[in-house]
Amino acid sequence: MAAGAVALAGCTIAAPGGGGSARAPANVGVIDGTWGDTGGVATASLTSGRFVSVANDTGNRVAEGTYVYTSRESVALDYFSLLRQTRIRANCILANPTTLNCTNDGGQQFQLIRNAAVS
């Protein structure tokens, strides 16, 4: 479980909204919202350029930082892993409405899955 939190702390994000046909408001990017790691260990939130990831079991922050859109369907993350005590950068691209494929600056790849809850 700790390994999943470390991966999310170094590689993940989150966005609101449901899957499929839900559309984001015009002033919100398609990646903004709440995302979870594939292991269910942590949840990341991307809101207004701010990235925060929390452990699902404790609710404690595991990472925090910023993000910028590099295109309509991709973002560059720049955050600090509170678990590793290191700064991490990752590039993520929307593979489909519910999957975000990311690669951190160390070459580690990970996926984030859009939260099912609709905001």
pLDDT tens by residue, the chain, 119 residues: 334 444 455 443 333 334 433 333 344 689 999 999 999 999 999 999 999 999 999 999 999 999 999 999 999 999 999 999 999 999 999 999 999 999 999 999 999 999 865 33
pLDDT score recorded for residue 17: 39
Angstrom distance (rounded) from CA 66 to CA 70: 13
Angstrom distance (rounded) from CA 24 to CA 80: 27
pLDDT score recorded for residue 28: 66
Domains annotated on the chain, with CATH: 2-19+27-114 (2.40.128)
- Assessment of whether the complete model's pTM goes beyond 0.85: no
pLDDT score recorded for residue 29: 87
Angstrom distance (rounded) from CA 112 to CA 117: 15
Query: If we measure between CA atoms, which residue out of 60, 32, 44 comes closest to residue 7?
Result: 44
Angular region, 33: left φ>0, alpha ψ -120 to 50, beta rest: left
pLDDT score recorded for residue 55: 97
pLDDT score recorded for residue 9: 52
Report the 10 Å Cβ neighbour count for 43: 22
Do the beta carbons of residue 34 and residue 43 sit within 8 Å?
yes
